[in-house]
């Protein structure tokens, strides 16, 4: 039987080698499964790589996909720093899109020059409020946030359906479940003319910088780190667990909500189904592969964004469902989790509740 | 007892059965100290494997066998990561769900819309004519009857056999169990695999009994509802029945309301099972705290002799 032996220090090569070898392993295993699905894996992989990296347009589209992934990655990362699992970024993203659409379509602000800041703020507020539901349940009633954040994803998606099939349905959409289109004033401006790279990129990078600042330079960040490292000591030191749970989850929800507002405003230009092909779930993998480092989140988001773009291409050229991307992501996640352990370094967080207590026994 | 109540209760049992199988499976895994959040993924792969096998062979029992095997095989990935490599169990389970969702969608694209000769309801002799209980419990399809057998069997194994004692020891105090000569890793692997097999059965119930079709993502969160129901059941197979049928009841009621043409929008009705599960989770968390019925002490803590 294989046994993982704990090393005292990670070997320096492991930091780079583990993700690289893990990804290669994942793609090898994926090739076998693609063959099983009746697809020539070589053809599929060639498509997968040529779309994102084969042209300047491909590169810009990769960035477009990376924008929401940076934000959802951060939305998972922040709570994880204090050992909370936010697997509800998908739903918080949807709420962000709903909040943004509400401001644009149902308030007078939609046609004004302040439409863009207003819709972004509304999206962040909606995402934050949505994430406060599991946060309150966790902080006040100690209800497991892993399950509640996830279940709320299903509810959020149904809420979008309700709105676009019901009260927000565009009468001019000829029966299609779409909201009315956003007016030009409410579309996020393009950052690079002629491409779809939008203002959201700057906002996402600003969020990376803000998260780094928050974690390393503020009292809030200090408290989060202490709570993550040693929850008991933190509480003896007078750090308020409940208040920090609410704060960190609200910020996380706001980040995911910002991603949703960006997708609705910059990409779709309306509220519709399928604004996200799973950016919220992928955010979990982004945060983990980035080893909960905000800066690394941006880099990992670009790589996984390329995978989404490649997946779009596979849908068109080989008729494969976009879920193939989930399959490959799951494999990468498996191999990285296993690879880390085999290479002998472990992540600082998030370990499940109780693990630290058990270890100290 | 009115016809309507009987019909809703029968539908509740039917709608709850897939969650029941999955909950029983997750109880085994968690009792041995392994949290497996991959239930949703294992159910989906089980649903597809069961469906495809039923289509190819025309025999839903072979489908159920394939579904159990597929779920069991998939769970072994979690076993390797969580037990042998001692990786983070939440992360590994999430990876399993992401992977299983994608895999089932990729492999299942060829059988969307294909008809299958799935299970049919079979009225059991004599007992199906008992008023109320007969139509509710004994005019169901064979997989529902199988679940009636698995519930007491699971309870018996956990509480009345040496093997169950080993499982509980490994989940509560692996060091002590190890010192007593119990193979911690082997016990955990077996329980994780049992969880996978039962999740696979829960999946194939959806694709060959509850409906006879394959749809991408057809479990619609039932795997996660099962994880929540394990807490509601306080890790007890008998109490799992209550949670699963309550979920089934909410599902049946909202479907009935839809069919009756209520003015409530369908998408709000569809939220009911998820809202209900969150409410149940809140209730269960308070109850377990009040009665001090906690999770297995070593739940999601990897074990090794060296510590």
Q: Per the domain annotation, does B51 fall within a domain?
A: yes
Phi, psi of B162 (to 5 degrees): -60, -40
Average pLDDT over residues B266-274: 94
Cα–Cα dist A309/A64, whole Å: 9
Residue with tokens 């994102």: A52
Confidence band (pLDDT; 50, 70, 90) for A15? confident
Say yes or no: B109 contacts chain A, CB-CB below 8 A.
yes
Cα–Cα dist B135/B27, whole Å: 29
Of B286 and A68, which is predicted with more confidence? A68
**Cα separations (Å) of A6 from A10, A90, B99?**
9, 35, 28
B106: nearest CB among A324, A329, A337:
A324
pLDDT in tens, A162-173: 999 999 999 998
Cα–Cα dist B207/A197, whole Å: 42
B94: nearest CB among A1, A87, A324:
A87
Nearest chain A residue to B276 by CA distance is A151
Q: What is the pLDDT of residue B292?
A: 76
pLDDT in tens, A212-245: 999 999 999 999 989 988 888 888 888 999 999 9
Which of B96, B102, B172, B232 to probe the A interface (max A CBs under 10 A)? B102
pLDDT in tens, B10-59: 999 999 999 999 999 999 999 999 999 999 999 999 999 999 999 999 99
Which of B45, B93, B99 to probe the A interface (max A CBs under 10 A)? B99
Confidence band (pLDDT; 50, 70, 90) for A9? low
Q: What is the pLDDT of residue A361?
A: 31
Q: Which parts of chain A fold into alpha helices (H)?
A: 12-36, 41-53, 56-81, 89-106, 115-141, 145-165, 200-217, 219-229, 231-236, 241-262, 279-289, 294-318, 323-343, 355-360
Nearest chain B residue to A278 by CA distance is B98
Please state, rounded to an integer, the average pLDDT across all residues of chain A.
90
Q: What is the pLDDT of residue A207?
A: 98
CA angle in degrees (0–180, nearest 5) for B66-B228-B259: 75
Residue with tokens 């295993």: A29
What value of ipTM does the predicted structure carry?
0.95
Phi, psi of B205 (to 5 degrees): -60, -40
Which of B104, B264, B267, B296 to probe the A interface (max A CBs under 10 A)? B267
Average pLDDT over residues B261-269: 87
Domain that holds residue B198: 3-290
Q: Could you tell me which of B205, B213, B156 has the C-alpha nearest to residue B21?
A: B205
Residue A32's Cβ-count burial label (10 Å; 0-12, 13-18, 19+) is exposed
Q: Per the domain annotation, does B211 fall within a domain?
A: yes
For A347, the 3-state DSSP assignment is coil
* A29: Cα within 13 Å, side-chain hemisphere: 18
Q: What is the pLDDT of residue A342?
A: 87
Instruction: Please give the tally of structural domains in chain B.
Output: 1
Say yes or no: B115 contacts chain A, CB-CB below 8 A.
no
pLDDT in tens, A241-274: 999 999 999 999 999 999 999 999 999 999 999 9
Q: What is the pLDDT of residue A346?
A: 53
Q: Do residues B237 and B22 touch, judged by C-beta distance below 8 A?
A: no
**A-proximal residues of B, 121-160, CB under 8 Å:** none
Nearest chain B residue to A167 by CA distance is B265
Average pLDDT over residues A12-29: 84
Please state, rounded to an integer, the average pLDDT across all residues of chain B.
95
Q: What is the pLDDT of residue B247?
A: 96
Average pLDDT over residues A7-33: 81
Q: Could you tell me which of A290, A292, A288, A295 has the C-alpha nearest to residue A212?
A: A295
- The CATH number that applies at residue B76 is 1.10.3470
Residues of chain A neighbouring B297 (CB-CB closer than 8 A): 358
Point out the least confidently predicted range of A13-22, A324-333, B106-115.
Answer: A13-22
- Judged against a pLDDT cut of 70, whether residue A6 lies above it is answered with no
Cα–Cα dist A90/A154, whole Å: 9
In chain B, how long is the greatest CA-to-CA distance? 63
**Contact state of A285 with B306 under an 8 Å Cβ cutoff:** no
Q: What is the pLDDT of residue A351?
A: 46
**Contact state of A330 with B98 under an 8 Å Cβ cutoff:** yes
pTM above 0.80, yes or no: yes
pLDDT in tens, B128-140: 999 999 999 999 9
Q: What is the pLDDT of residue A230?
A: 87
A161: nearest CB among B84, B185, B267:
B267
DSSP code of residue A266: I
């Amino acid at each position: 039987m294989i046994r993982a032996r704990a090393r005292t220090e990670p070997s320096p090569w492991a930091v780079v080698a583990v993700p690289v070898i893990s990804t290669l392993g994942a793609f090898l295993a994926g090739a076998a499964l693609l063959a099983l699905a009746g697809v020539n894996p070589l053809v599929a992989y060639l498509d997968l790589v040529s779309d994102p990296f084969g042209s300047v347009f491909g590169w810009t589209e990769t960035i477009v996909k990376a924008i929401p992934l940076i934000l959802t990655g951060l939305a998972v990362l922040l709570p994880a720093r204090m050992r909370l699992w936010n697997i509800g970024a998908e739903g918080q993203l949807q709420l962000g899109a709903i909040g943004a659409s509400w401001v644009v379509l149902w308030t007078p602000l939609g046609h004004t020059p302040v439409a863009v800041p207003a819709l972004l703020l509304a999206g962040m507020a909606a995402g934050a409020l949505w994430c406060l539901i599991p946060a309150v349940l966790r902080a006040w009633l100690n209800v497991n946030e892993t399950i509640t954040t996830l279940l709320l994803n299903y509810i959020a998606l149904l809420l979008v359906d309700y709105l676009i099939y019901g009260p927000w349905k565009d009468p001019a959409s000829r029966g299609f479940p779409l909201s009315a289109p956003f007016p030009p004033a409410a579309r996020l401006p393009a950052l690079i003319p002629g491409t779809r790279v939008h203002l959201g990129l700057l906002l996402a990078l600003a969020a990376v910088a803000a998260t780094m600042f928050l974690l390393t330079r503020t009292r809030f960040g200090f408290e989060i780190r202490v709570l993550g490292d040693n929850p008991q000591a933190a509480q003896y030191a007078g750090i308020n667990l409940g208040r920090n749970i609410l704060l960190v989850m609200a910020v996380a929800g706001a980040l995911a909500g910002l991603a949703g507002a960006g997708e609705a405003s910059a990409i779709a230009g309306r509220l519709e189904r399928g604004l996200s092909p799973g950016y919220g779930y992928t955010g979990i993998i982004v945060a983990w592969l980035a080893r909960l480092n905000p800066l690394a989140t941006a880099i990992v988001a670009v790589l996984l964004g390329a995978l989404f773009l490649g997946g779009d291409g596979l849908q068109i050229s080989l008729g494969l469902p976009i879920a193939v991307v989930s399959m490959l992501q799951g494999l990468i996640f498996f191999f990285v989790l296993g690879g880390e352990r085999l290479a002998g370094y472990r992540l600082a967080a998030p370990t499940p509740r109780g693990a630290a207590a058990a270890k100290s026994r | 007892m009115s016809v309507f109540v009987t019909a809703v209760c029968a539908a509740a049992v039917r709608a709850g059965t897939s969650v029941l199988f999955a909950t029983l499976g997750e109880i085994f895994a968690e009792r041995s100290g392994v949290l497996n959040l991959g239930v949703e993924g294992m159910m989906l792969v089980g649903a597809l494997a069961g469906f495809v096998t039923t289509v190819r062979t025309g025999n839903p029992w072979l489908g159920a066998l394939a579904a159990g095997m597929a779920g069991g095989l998939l769970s072994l990935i979690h076993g390797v990561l969580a037990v042998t490599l001692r990786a983070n169990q939440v992360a590994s389970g999430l990876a399993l769900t992401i992977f299983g969702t994608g895999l089932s969608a990729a492999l299942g694209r060829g059988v969307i819309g294909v008809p299958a000769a799935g299970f049919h309801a079979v009225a059991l002799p004599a007992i199906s004519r008992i008023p109320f209980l007969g139509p509710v419990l004994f005019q169901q399809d064979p997989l529902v009857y199988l679940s009636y057998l698995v519930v007491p069997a699971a309870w018996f194994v956990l509480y009345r056999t040496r093997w169950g004692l080993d499982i509980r020891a490994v989940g509560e105090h692996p060091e002590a169990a190890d010192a007593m000569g119990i193979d911690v890793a082997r016990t955990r692997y077996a329980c994780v695999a049992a969880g996978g097999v039962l999740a696979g059965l829960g999946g194939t119930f959806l694709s060959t009994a509850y409906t006879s079709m394959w749809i991408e993502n057809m479990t619609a969160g039932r795997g996660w509802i099962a994880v929540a129901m394990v807490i509601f059941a306080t890790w007890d197979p008998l109490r799992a029945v209550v949670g699963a049928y309550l979920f089934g009841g909410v599902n049946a009621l909202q479907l009935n309301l839809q069919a009756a043409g209520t003015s409530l929008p369908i998408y709000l009705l569809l939220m009911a099972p998820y809202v209900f599960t969150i409410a149940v989770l809140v209730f269960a968390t308070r109850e377990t705290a009040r009665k001090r019925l906690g999770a297995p002490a070593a739940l999601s803590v990897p074990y090794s002799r060296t510590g």
